[in-house]
């Protein structure tokens, strides 16, 4: 079970965010406004894809908060297919150590297929090459989101390519496939990936991103280590910080009816 103190703080934060209009959170352009209003809880994947775009491209804190809400809604609306992916994506956006750990733990609990990679000295390699790890994470994210030219440019640096090959056992199809296909996926045209492949990429990106003084995060993802923080998969929406009963965006607020 999730510890009561942690649950209380997450619920309170969710209520505070719910009470805000989006106009207070983020200046919407017409296209984003239209896309938010077109979201349909019967198609949770669209919430996830829009969240990825916001999280990947925006440097504004308010847009990051919106991305977190959309990831949370996606995972809550379709926990079987998107619960794990949403937890991993949210963990990659989270600065708080305890909350990040809970999300990682919850993602592992929701996983029905253990990867069990042969990592060798990968953890130590990531620790020694912090800037290279960040660059490779960006390259992988760019590939997934249809910015293949950016992937190619980053991996043209020998150190970045060497690190990619060190972790290619976690890349669907391996490093060569990712490099080869990067030229095909540009200007927003994304590769067709299964949900499991999306999860694998997110796992690797997160391992690359969170490898700081708290190196247990990367080790947990890369080695499938033992749980360190308690989490309750039966209370997914609460942990993700959203009210799944309010999935519609209308006139700047999230509501329960279209």
| Gyration radius from the chain CA atoms | 18
- Identify the H or E element spanning 11: helix 4-19
Q: How far apart are CA 225 and CA 155, in angstroms?
A: 29
Give the residue with greater pLDDT, 109 vs 145. Answer: 145
Confidence of residue 218 (pLDDT cuts 50, 70, 90): very low
Nearest residue to 77 (alpha-carbon basis) of 227, 212, 236, 230: 236
The predicted structure's pLDDT at residue 43:
94
The predicted structure's pLDDT at residue 128:
47
The predicted structure's pLDDT at residue 97:
66
Query: Which range of residues forms the domain containing residue 8?
Result: 4-114+229-255
The predicted structure's pLDDT at residue 111:
63
The predicted structure's pLDDT at residue 66:
93
* 164 and 183 in a common domain: yes
Confidence of residue 20 (pLDDT cuts 50, 70, 90): very low
* 209 and 126 in a common domain: yes
Strand, helix or coil at 248? strand
* 140 and 86 in a common domain: no
User: What's the number of domains the chain is made of?
Assistant: 2
The predicted structure's pLDDT at residue 68:
92
Percentage helix, strand, coil, to 5, in the chain?
65, 0, 30
Confidence of residue 21 (pLDDT cuts 50, 70, 90): very low
* 210 and 132 in a common domain: yes
* 189 and 87 in a common domain: no
* 93 and 169 in a common domain: no
Q: How far apart are CA 190 and CA 103, in angstroms?
A: 26
pTM to 2 decimal places: 0.57
* 99 and 15 in a common domain: yes
Mean pLDDT of 2-6: 44
Range of lowest pLDDT (72-81, 93-102, 214-223, 249-258): 214-223
* 203 and 135 in a common domain: yes
- 83 Cβ contact list (under 8 Å, min separation 6): 75, 76, 110, 233, 236
* 93 and 13 in a common domain: yes
Q: What is the pLDDT of residues 80-108, one digit of tens each?
A: 889 888 988 898 888 776 787 778 778 87
The predicted structure's pLDDT at residue 18:
40
Share of the chain above pLDDT 70, in %: 71
Mean pLDDT of 2-28: 43
The predicted structure's pLDDT at residue 235:
74
* 211 and 190 in a common domain: yes
The predicted structure's pLDDT at residue 40:
96
* 109 and 236 in a common domain: yes
Mean pLDDT of 41-50: 94
Confidence of residue 72 (pLDDT cuts 50, 70, 90): very high
The predicted structure's pLDDT at residue 70:
95
Q: How far apart are CA 65 and CA 191, in angstroms?
A: 26
* 17 and 73 in a common domain: yes
Share of the chain above pLDDT 90, in %: 24
């Amino acid at each position: 079970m999730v510890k009561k103190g942690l649950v209380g703080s997450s619920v309170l934060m969710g209520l505070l965010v719910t009470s805000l209009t989006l106009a207070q959170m983020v200046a919407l352009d017409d296209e984003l406004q239209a896309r938010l209003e077109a979201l349909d809880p019967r198609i949770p994947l669209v919430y996830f894809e829009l969240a990825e775009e916001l999280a990947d491209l925006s440097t504004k804190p308010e847009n990051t908060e919106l991305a977190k809400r959309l990831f949370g809604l996606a995972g809550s609306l379709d926990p079987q297919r998107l619960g794990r992916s949403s937890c991993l994506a949210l963990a990659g956006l989270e600065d708080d150590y305890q909350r990040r750990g809970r999300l990682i733990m919850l993602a592992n609990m929701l996983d029905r297929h253990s990867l069990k990679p042969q990592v060798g000295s990968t953890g130590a390699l990531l620790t020694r090459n912090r800037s290279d790890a960040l660059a490779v994470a960006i390259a992988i994210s760019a590939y997934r989101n249809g910015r293949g030219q950016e992937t190619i440019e980053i991996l043209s640096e020998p150190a970045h390519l060497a690190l990619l090959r060190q972790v290619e056992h976690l890349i669907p199809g391996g490093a060569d496939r990712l490099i080869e296909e990067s030229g095909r996926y540009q200007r927003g045209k994304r590769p067709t990936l299964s949900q499991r492949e999306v999860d694998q990429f997110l796992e690797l990106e997160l391992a690359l991103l969170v490898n700081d003084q708290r190196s247990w995060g990367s080790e947990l993802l890369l080695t499938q280590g033992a749980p360190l923080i308690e989490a309750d998969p039966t209370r997914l929406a609460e942990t993700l910080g959203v009210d799944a009963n309010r999935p519609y965006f209308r006139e700047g607020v999230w509501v329960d009816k279209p």
